[in-house]
Amino acid sequence: MSGAIDRRAALCALAGAGALTWAGAGTAAVRKPAKGSVYDRSIVIDAQGAFGEFDSKADPDAPPSPAFIAKMRASGVTAISMTMGEVGNGPERYVSTLQNIAQVASGMASDPQNFLLIQKAADLAEAKRSGRIGIILNTQDTTALETDLKRVKALKDVGIRIIQLTYNKRNLCGDGSLERANAGISDFGRQVIAEINKADVLLDLSHGGQRTIAEAIAETKVSPAITHTGCRDLVDLPRNVWDRELKALADKGGVVGIYFMPFLRPSGQPHAEDVIRHLEHAVNVCGEDHVGLGTDGLSGAITVDDAYRDMQKKFFERRQAAGIAAPGEAADVFNFVPEYNGPRHFEALAMDLSKRGWSDARIEKVLGANFARLFTEVWKG
């Protein structure tokens, strides 16, 4: 690879996770944060996203351009958690996950002046200090484990720092958010949670069914996360989480990340006011020490054209055919928030929150300090 992280690898990783998302029309201006601003001094973390941009006129197999890398380094984003491997039940999930990890890790290793693989919490401070782009590796399913508990430690050894228990459908660990039975976690799932705790890896309960989330929070001995979701008491869609589970997560020391996804409203295109409404609700339920951001989208800006619209339609149809499209998804609803488009989307959000009277301290926590605290506690370093 001649550049840093292969853009195709990043996009494929997200596509496999059922979260191939792009930003919307109207690219936000790229500018250096005001010196001394809350955004400038914050550790900024996207707890679920992907490094990359989408342009229908660009070669999808080409690595990220130097210009895009420069934009991301100037964006103020400290770290992005990216999904490795595929989601859902299927063959060779472990092998494909290892291959994806090797590809992305190799790309970062070949460009150390621009990228830093986040392996311990102290790496976040180093990424911030050096201005490099921190990448955290995660899996959005436990299907790669198959029936081998030892693979939890094996995945950690090759760089995985966050493991999500289920995706939208049922796996060996428990029921996902789209399973009508809502059967909760299995005995094997309890064993997997114990192994995740033992390995000092963060347990992620995003995409879980209601009972799966509730039972896993009770089962884990270490603070968990829900890295990308919305508030179900505001919008009753299955990818969102009820207040009682959000409160239980906070009581266990965990952090919930609010996403930039269609599920923030009952139907149609989500906008900035939807993100803010869910953030404020989550803070009211969980407290300001337990809320962060996990966009579930790409870090770069996207020009929405006919090619993009066609790709979104085909993407939705593939998910629908696979049975993993969630209520709220649609062929003509884009997985982005138009007002928060491009590398500086978190700065735009921070400015909006400040206008609403949020204190700098609260904004700093939500931008990344809360997830940084959780990573420090779970990763033990």
Residue 1, domain member (yes or no): no
Decide if 359 is inside a domain: yes
SS3 208: strand
Of the pLDDT bands very low, low, confident and very high (cuts 50, 70, 90), residue 36 is confident
Binned at pLDDT 50, 70 and 90, residue 377 comes out as very high
Q: Which residue has the higher pLDDT, 302 or 221?
A: 221
Q: Could you tell me the pLDDT band of residue 300, with boundaries at 50, 70 and 90?
A: confident
The pair phi, psi for residue 298, each rounded to 5°, is -80, 155
Asked if residue 28 has pLDDT above 90, the reply is no
The string over 214-232, giving b where at least 16 C-beta atoms fall within 10 Å of a residue's C-beta and e elsewhere, is bbbbebbebbbbbbbbbbb
Q: Give the CA distances from residue 273 to residues 225, 270, 338, 358, in Å, rounded to whole numbers and listed in that order.
A: 24, 8, 11, 15
Note whether residue 2 is domain-resident.
no
Say if CB 334 and CB 269 are below 8 A apart: yes
For residue 35, what pLDDT is reported? 61
pLDDT at residue 52, rounded to an integer: 81
Judge whether residue 14 has pLDDT over 70. no
**pLDDT for residue 8:** 36
pLDDT of residue 33: 45
The mean per-residue pLDDT over the stretch 219-227 comes to 98
What CATH number does residue 349 fall under?
Answer: 3.20.20.140
pLDDT at residue 302 in the model: 76
Instruction: Give the Cα separation of 24 and 256 in Å (integer).
Output: 24
Range of the domain at 70: 7-379
- Is 87 a domain residue? yes
Q: What is the pTM of this model?
A: 0.91
Number of domains in the chain: 1
Q: What's the rounded Cα separation, in Å, for the pair 65 and 192?
A: 40
Map tokens 């998804």 to a residue: 329
Q: Give domain status of residue 292, yes or no.
A: yes
